[in-house]
Chains A and B, each alone.
Chain A
Amino acid sequence: MSIQFTILIIYFIFIIFLGVLAVRKVKASDDLLVAGRNLGLMYVSVSIAAEYMGGLGTIGTAEVAFSQGMGVIWYHIASSFGLILFGLAFAHYYRKYNVITVPEFLYYLYDIKTWKAASVLNVVGYWFFTIIQMTALGALVTSVTGLDLKLSVLICGIAMTIYLLAAGMWSVAFTSVAFMLTIGTGIPIAFWWVMKKEIPLLAASAGLSGYSGLAAALNGMGLDATALFSPFSLGGMAVFGYFIGGILGIPAAQATINYSFGAKNWKIARLAPVLAAILILPLSIWTGSMGLFARAAGLTNNPKLALGATLMSIHPIVGGIGIAGVFAALISTVAGILFGCASIMAKDIWQRWLHPDTDDQYVSRWTRIWILIIGISSSFGAMTLPKILNQAFFVYSIRGALMICVAFGIWWKRSHPDAAYWALVVALIGGVMYQFNLPVNFEAFFKLHISVWCTILSLITFVFISLRNKWTTQTSSELPPFIKYRKGGRK
């Protein structure tokens, strides 16, 4: 058994213990779903940051740096921008209605059909996304342990489900502190070791350490270190794409922002995302530099393996701690997405929509049952459906439309429920057409990413229908089950 494998196992057992420890905090369904709205600034900000730092932010940024240089820092700058935007402009609006889920917020802004459509689309999208992220997590564990991919996925999936079952959002908050400490120490320690100890060992580095040695080693490989070290090495369009992703991907994303719903008060709900932005910003410096080291040292030809190859090639204890950091980033994201999906499924679809007249105990029980169903089914999905990666299109299709519905619903008086409903539907249809090239190859024809394409479609639909349809007293007249009439007909 390798040292890296041993470190990973000890860490994993510790995390499960920590998650299960939170069970004493749970007394009612609100404790499971929004931690009793009792989370302080530290818990909310580290939970948001740990959830956001996933496979794309670690392995993905090292991959981009390996092939295109340090312009990848814009990934986390753009993500920070998205988080600040949420804290600055959205968090208090969600808080105002004391919502538990994003679809519930869409009811308050629009009507019952928008709430139902958003609930179903969110659950399906996040279910696919859980499977995708579990596959990435399994691949990391496989690369370190040598275990079979299917077995790795199953072990991780079951362990995560166990600790989420114990205390829901409290488990996520407890484990996020440990995850954040691991990410914030493991990855920088590995980075420091690479810069200080490993780079001088490279033949072309002339014995220099740090970025001087890395530049010399890259030049020695026949590469242009100045270009790779430029913050603009990716070009303007890629940076623009990152910003679009940050803006569209955060303010209406249940899995990222639901910790803000669990904040003690509206002040923490607004401040925590801004603090999370500070926490995530330096990550691409560390991972990107290690990606470039993999290139300079010729560790691999596959950019996707850049970070893993670096961590496996350095001192086993330092590498093991670094791998634990990457593992923490991945597992916190999967747990967050799984929990977000289960929250909407249990609260919106199962209880409010299908079983409205049920008590709190029923909600608690079914929240746990849905965590179990989604956790286990996603593990088996990741084991048996390796090509499910293509299904990421579903999430990309709807996230822009959700953001448009939320933003326009807050700030544009004319926003109409029909516009919100059809913006979601059109985005999904547009995403399916894009994915399956119906009737043309959209990517080649328009040269737009699927999320930008779907956002443009839903924006046009939203504005057009809102301008055409007018609010009447009948608009949004049907109340969903979670808003009860008071005596005398008033709501």
Chain B
Amino acid sequence: MKILIPSFLKLDLIIWGVLILFFIGFTIYINHKSSNYINEIKAVTIELKKKLGIKIYRLR
């Protein structure tokens, strides 16, 4: 019985390849976001809390 790449290894390699592609894609996506993006999320949070009547504390 000649087994070069057994089925479990094939599956793992395919998933590994998908992960690497995903990482590349995610890196491109992240780097296209402005560095101010995190402050934009903060603004959304503050608006949401205002609507809900939750106390708004100072976000550091």
Contact = CB atoms under 8 A, between A and B. Distances in A.
Contacts of B33: 267
Nearest to B19: A278
B55 A491 contact: yes
* Secondary structure class of chain B's binding surface, majority of residues: helix
Given A216-B1, A282-B16, A491-B58, A270 B53 contact: no
B30 A212 contact: no
B41 A92 contact: yes
A219 B42 CA distance: 60
Given A271-B27, A471-B52, 14 more contacts: A73-B11, A95-B38, A108-B57, A215-B1, A216-B1, A229-B8, A266-B38, A281-B16, A282-B12, A285-B9, A471-B53, A473-B55, A476-B55, A479-B57
A296 to B, nearest CB: 14
A487 interface: no
Nearest to B2: A212
Interface of A: 70-71, 73, 77, 80, 84, 87-88, 92-93, 95-98, 108, 210-212, 215-216, 219, 225, 229-231, 265-267, 270-271, 274-275, 277-278, 281-282, 284-285, 413, 471-473, 475-477, 479, 483-484, 486, 490-491
Given A472-B53, A491-B57, A229 B7 contact: yes
Interface residues of B, number: 38
A92 B12 contact: no
A475 B3 contact: no
A77 B6 contact: no
A107 to B, nearest CB: 9
B3 A215 contact: yes
Interface string B29-46: 011010101100110010
B23 to A, nearest CB: 5
A411 to B, nearest CB: 11
Contacts of A473: 53, 55
B3 A96 contact: no
Contacts of B60: 97-98
Contact of B15 (A95, A210, A281, A476): A281
Nearest to A274: B23
Contact of A229 (B3, B27, B35, B53): B3
B11 to A, nearest CB: 5
A479 B48 CA distance: 19
Contact of A97 (B26, B27, B52, B59): B59
Most buried by B among A95, A266, A486: A266
